Amino acid sequence: MTNPAHFYLQSLRVFLQVAQTGSLTKAAEKFHITLSALSKRIAELERTVDCALFILTRPLIRINLEEKLSKTVVTALAMGEADIGIFADNVSSQGVEKTPYRKDKLVILVSPQHPLYARSDVSFNDTLGYDYVGLNSGSALLKQLKDASDELGRVLRLRVQLSSFDRICRMIEAGLGISVLPQGAIRPEVLNSGLRAINLTDEWASRQLWLGVKSAATLQPEVTNLLTHLRQCGA
């Protein structure tokens, strides 16, 4: 169980980093968390103190940040339901324009009681003798894992399937299995709770993340500015 006092202290550290750098992106990189996770922490602090912690320099602009599966992100871009999206290279990007954003690493997340816990790295093949907690059917990551296990002539032992990385982490903490997750999707408090992220040695475990839009030529100026900023951060 996460210690509430530790969670609050970590949120204060996140707030201080944003204040010092003047950048949500740089603060998220510092603590190895997603922008949505960082925004949630700031919002929780603001509710606690009952006031806004930052003055908005562009108060008429609102960014709706959502964490979705890569396939869903590409679909939202192609349908015009999202302006900018970040997705992995294991899904089709038909219907969108994309540019390289940054590299992402897939890791194995295990609980302290698991036999693999002492390992610093492991091959995917060596993990297939254990129960897995995974994403729901239709996710590109699950398909990638099933394809990899099929190539090895092995079966992916899916014990539980869930809709989000956070829920998967909670099931691993409960001892229901292990999982392959993007390293960037694992929040610091998850590792602080005792779970361990183990490097996957397989070549396919290193992924390219893409920054996508439906059409850069038709973006509003404010969206273009954000896209340029993200490209610079990812470079």
Three-state SS string over 162-207 comes to ECCHHHHHHHHHCCCCEEEEEHHHCCHHHHHCCCEEEEECCHHHEE
Distances (CA, A) of 20 to 17, 24, 49, 162, 182: 5, 10, 20, 37, 28
pLDDT tens digits for range 140-153: 889 899 999 999 99
What SS3 class is residue 101? strand
CATH T-level assignment (fold) for domain 68-234: D-Maltodextrin-Binding Protein; domain 2 (3.40.190)
CATH 1.10.1660 for the 1-65 domain, yes or no: no
What is the per-residue pLDDT for 49?
Answer: 76
Q: What is the pTM of this model?
A: 0.63
Task: Please return the burial class of 133, using the count of CB atoms within 10 Å of its CB with bins 0-12, 13-18 and 19+.
Answer: buried
For the chain, domain boundaries = 1-65, 68-234
The letter for the amino acid at 179 is S
At 175, the pLDDT band (50, 70, 90 cuts) reads very high
Can you tell me the mean pLDDT for 151-170? Answer: 92
Lowest mean pLDDT among 31-40, 53-62, 173-182: 53-62
Q: Where are the alpha helices (DSSP H) in the chain?
A: 4-21, 24-31, 35-49, 70-78, 124-127, 140-151, 165-173, 188-192, 221-234
Cα within 13 Å of Cα(224), Cβ side: 7
Token pair 């998850």: residue: 190
